[in-house]
Amino acid sequence: MSFEGSCHCGAVRFRVDAALPAQAISCNCSHCRRKGFLLSFFPAEQFELMEGEESLLSYKFNTHKIEHRFCRVCGTQPYACGANPDGSAVRAVNLRCVPDVDLDALELRRFDGASM
C-alpha cells in the first residue's frame, strides 16, 4: 500500500510506500509553528520523489541537520530530509500535502521543538 502527495501547484509530486498514517507530529518550533506542519516520518527508502527535483529549493536553520525542501513555484514545503538518531535517512512528510489524509481524524502527538 502507498500514498501520494504534492506541493500546491503540482510541480513537486511524491509517493510513500506505506499505509496512510493515523498519527502526526505537531511541533512547536519556530519553523513548524509558523507553517502549521503536521508531520509523519518514514525511512528514506520508502519515499520516492516522482516529479519536481528541479522545482525544489532547500532551507536549513538552527542545527542545519534537516533539509526542508520547498517548491520554488508555489512555496509549499511537502517534505524534509534528515536522519534518525541512529543515522538512518528519514523523510518528514507534511501530511497537509497528502490529499487522502483526513486531517481531522489524525491523532496529534505534540513535540516541544521550541525547547531544543
| pLDDT tens-digit map of 81-112 | 999 999 999 999 999 999 999 999 999 999 99
Is it the case that residue 77 has pLDDT exceeding 90?
yes
- Just give the CATH number of 3-115: 2.170.150.70
Considering the chain, what is the average pLDDT of its residues? 95
What integer pLDDT is reported at residue 114 of this predicted model?
Answer: 87
What integer pLDDT is reported at residue 61 of this predicted model?
Answer: 84
- Predicted confidence band at 62 (pLDDT cuts at 50, 70, 90)? confident
Nearest alpha carbon to residue 52 among 12, 87, 84: 12
In the chain, the amino acid numbered 45 is E
More confident site: 65 or 17:
17
